[in-house]
Chains A and B, each alone.
Chain A
């Protein structure tokens, strides 16, 4: 229960899905957590859940497309909690499904801005804050960052981009004791895949399930466990790598 005792963690996209499960798990392991998201009500609800069981957290409204908001997130963390040890850059969107030729430039840009540039914006300020004492950064990519996905070119490109960014940053910051890795979830029961605004319908979800060796969707908690391990000192020799939690889809 104390894997992250004394540590301070930022979780972007922390109001729902994988981010919510991770924020709660980090807090249960002793971390003080900053829950960052565009959804204020849901984000504050996660903070309440954490505090109800004796944890420490606060919510910060952040649109990761805005550099100044990412800067303010790190500044607020340092001001409130005095340090920054862990960042889970997890905020992301799925985009509009459709063939590549049917994507508008706006739709393309939106996905790239949130999923890739958003991670970049967050990392710039986190790296500056972590240089003195080291730290662990986990960026949520996807199995779609490792293989192609018809109908999701922008999402796939953005997630491949997150992996490239992660690897390069790891090479640069290893000497400062900052470890940087990517989490690659498969199909997980979250608002993004099974919510009302999700691009999956019953049929496409059924088809996706056929590719899962474990024959089921994943739980957000199962992704959170990987993020926890990567955030902890157990991962002391781990950097610049990607960690696939997908029930065997990419096997």
Chain B
């Protein structure tokens, strides 16, 4: 229950799905958690829930496409809690399937802006803040960042790029004891895949389930535990790598 005792963690996209469950888990393990999201209602409700269970949390509105929001987020963590040890750059979007020839530039750009540039925007102030004492950064990529995904070229490109960004940053900041890794989920039961505004349809879900040797989706908890291990000192020799939690889909 104390894997992250005394640590301070930022979680982007923390109000729902994988981010939400990870925030709860980090708080249970002793971290003070800054939950960052565009959904203030859900974010504030999560803070209340965490505090009710004896944890410490704070909500900060965040649009990862806005550089100033990302800087303000790190400032808030430092001002409120005095330090920053962990960042889970997890905010991301998935759009309904479309073949490349029909892909509009605006939507292509939006996916890249949120999923890739959003991670970059978050990383920059986090790296500044962590240089003195080291830290652990986990960026949510996807198995679509490792394989091709027909119908989701923008998503796949953005997630491949998160891996490239992660690896390069790891090489640069290893000497400052900042470890940077990528989490690669397969199909996970979250609002992004199954909520009312999800870009997935039921046929896509069925196919993904059939494709996984474990023949089911992941629960978000099964990703949160991987993020926890990467955030903790158990992963002290781990950096610049990607961690696949996909029920065997990419085996």
Q: Do A and B bind each other?
A: yes
Q: Which residues of A contact B (CB under 8 A)?
A: 167-168, 170-175, 179, 186, 212-215, 218-219, 222-223, 225-226, 229, 234-241, 243-248, 250-251
Contact call B247/A175, Cβ cutoff below 8 A = no
Q: Which residue of B lies closest to A213 (CB)?
A: B174
Task: Please measure, in the bound complex, the distance between the C-alpha atom of A41 and the C-alpha atom of B222, giving whole angstroms.
Answer: 40
Contact call A174/B214, Cβ cutoff below 8 A = yes
Contact call A175/B215, Cβ cutoff below 8 A = yes
Task: Please measure, in the bound complex, the distance between the C-alpha atom of A239 and the C-alpha atom of B143, giving whole angstroms.
Answer: 13
Contact call B214/A237, Cβ cutoff below 8 A = yes
Interface 1/0s, chain B 161-174, versus A by CB < 8 A?
00000011011011
**Most chain B beta-carbon neighbours within 10 Å: one of A226, A235, A243, A247:** A247
B71 within 8 Å of A (CB atoms): no
Give the top 9 A-B pairs by smallest Cβ distance, nearest first: A251-B240, A240-B251, A174-B213, A213-B174, A222-B237, A241-B244, A237-B222, A244-B241, A240-B248
Contact call B248/A245, Cβ cutoff below 8 A = no
Contact call A245/B238, Cβ cutoff below 8 A = yes
Q: Which residue of A lies closest to B184 (CB)?
A: A241
Contact call B213/A170, Cβ cutoff below 8 A = yes
B250 within 8 Å of A (CB atoms): yes
Contact call B250/A240, Cβ cutoff below 8 A = yes
Chain A residues positioned under 8 Å from B213 (CB to CB): 170-175, 239-240
Contact call A234/B225, Cβ cutoff below 8 A = yes
Contact call B237/A245, Cβ cutoff below 8 A = yes
B91 within 8 Å of A (CB atoms): no
Contact call A214/B174, Cβ cutoff below 8 A = yes
Task: Please measure, in the bound complex, the distance between the C-alpha atom of A244 and the C-alpha atom of B251, giving whole angstroms.
Answer: 15
Contact call B238/A251, Cβ cutoff below 8 A = no
Interface 1/0s, chain B 213-225, versus A by CB < 8 A?
1110011001101
B108 within 8 Å of A (CB atoms): no
B11 to A: closest C-beta gap in Å? 19
Chain B residues positioned under 8 Å from A222 (CB to CB): 236-238
Contact call B251/A215, Cβ cutoff below 8 A = no
B26 to A: closest C-beta gap in Å? 15
Q: Of the candidates B168, B214, B229, B236, which one forms a contact with A239 in the assembled complex, judged by CB atoms under 8 Å apart?
A: B214
Q: Which residue of B lies closest to A219 (CB)?
A: B237
B27 to A: closest C-beta gap in Å? 18
Contact call B244/A238, Cβ cutoff below 8 A = yes
Contact call B247/A174, Cβ cutoff below 8 A = yes
Extra A-B contacts (14), CB below 8 Å, given A170-B248, A214-B237: A167-B251, A168-B251, A170-B213, A175-B213, A212-B174, A213-B173, A214-B177, A219-B237, A226-B238, A237-B186, A237-B219, A240-B213, A246-B237, A250-B241
B130 to A: closest C-beta gap in Å? 14
Contact call B250/A225, Cβ cutoff below 8 A = no
Contact call B212/A174, Cβ cutoff below 8 A = yes
B133 within 8 Å of A (CB atoms): no
Chain A residues positioned under 8 Å from B167 (CB to CB): 251
A-B residue pairs in contact (CB < 8 Å), sample of 20: A173-B213, A174-B214, A213-B175, A213-B239, A214-B174, A214-B177, A222-B236, A222-B238, A225-B235, A225-B236, A229-B229, A234-B226, A237-B247, A238-B247, A239-B247, A241-B243, A241-B251, A244-B238, A248-B171, A251-B239
